[in-house]
Amino acid sequence: MVNGSKKPCSLSRSMDLLTAGVAIEQPDGSSQLSVALIPAGSPGITRSPFWGVPYLAGAESDEVVLDDVHVPEELMLRPEVELGSGLDTLQTVGFVWFELLVTAAYTGAVGRLAEAALGSGRGSATDRAAVLVAVEAAAGLAENVARVVDSGTVGNDELAATLAARFAVQDLLVKAADQAAELLGGVRFVTSPEVGHLLAVSRVLAFHPPSRSSSAQALLDHHAGAPLRIS
């Protein structure tokens, strides 16, 4: 039986499967990390509103509560890793692709704001080119890591490269969104809800795990030759 909650949980009302990390107590008192694949319609699963802002509300990021949800043995994945010891291949691949997907999604959102600014013809060519360069650089970083990951083994080094790209893109998107909104001007901001919405969205990548502060020492340690450990 699995008990607990996840909030926010994206696609909470549209999902077919819920994946959950669970700690299974062993006979010797230790805990083994497992991943449960739980059908969304399982008895004991309830959903309740959690997302309190209008931005990205379509992601259905509400709270999902599990109360004595039965998970068959065949739907339990048991990675070869102990709690606190690091990441196995399954976790690493999932982490890398999650980071790449969210990075690409927010790059696309800011790209929409950038296209509006470029198409407006406002500001100098230098100003508009700065917006273009920031967005293209963000897309290029994500595409480069995706190409490396897609062509070979995904391991610790690729995870570190993915996180480095994600944090670099995070900064580039804020810069590009600010510049694009300024080029569009105050009248466009107060008459078009999309400008303010995309400005807010440009900041949301920073709120996805792992945070910059929780990853900083891990990235430094990896650069010095140690395995990357994400807490």
Please tell me the predicted confidence (pLDDT) of residue 38.
94
Question: In the prediction, which pLDDT does 84 show?
Answer: 45
Residue 48 φ/ψ, nearest 5 degrees: -145, 150
The CATH superfamily assigned to 89-223 is Butyryl-CoA Dehydrogenase, subunit A, domain 3 (1.20.140.10)
Q: Locate tokens 């400008």: which residue?
A: 195
- Ordered by start, the domain boundaries in the chain are 2-73, 89-223
Q: Which CATH number fits domain 2-73: 3.30.230.10, 1.10.1740.10, 3.10.50.40, 2.40.110.10?
A: 2.40.110.10
In which element (H, E) is residue 16 found? Answer: none
Task: Retrieve residue 7's tokens.
Answer: 């909030």
Quick one: pLDDT at residue 82?
A: 47
Average pLDDT of every residue of the chain: 90
Per-residue pLDDT, 231 = 66
At 78 the pLDDT is: 73
pTM: predicted TM-score of the whole model, two decimal places: 0.84
> What is the rounded distance in angstroms from the CA atom of residue 176 to the CA atom of residue 231?
30
Q: Please, which residues have CB within 8 angstroms of residue 58's CB and are 6 or more apart in sequence?
A: none
Closest CA to 108 of 130, 139, 147: 139
> pLDDT per residue over 3-40, tens digit each?
999 999 999 999 999 988 777 777 887 777 778 899 99
The count of C-alpha atoms lying within 13 angstroms of the C-alpha of 18, restricted to the half-sphere facing its C-beta, is: 32
Residuewise pLDDT in 10s, the chain (231 residues): 889 999 999 999 999 999 887 777 778 877 777 788 999 999 999 999 999 988 898 899 999 999 999 999 889 887 655 444 455 677 788 889 899 999 999 999 999 999 999 999 999 999 999 999 999 999 999 999 999 888 887 888 999 999 999 999 999 999 999 999 999 999 999 999 999 999 999 999 999 999 999 999 999 999 999 988 876
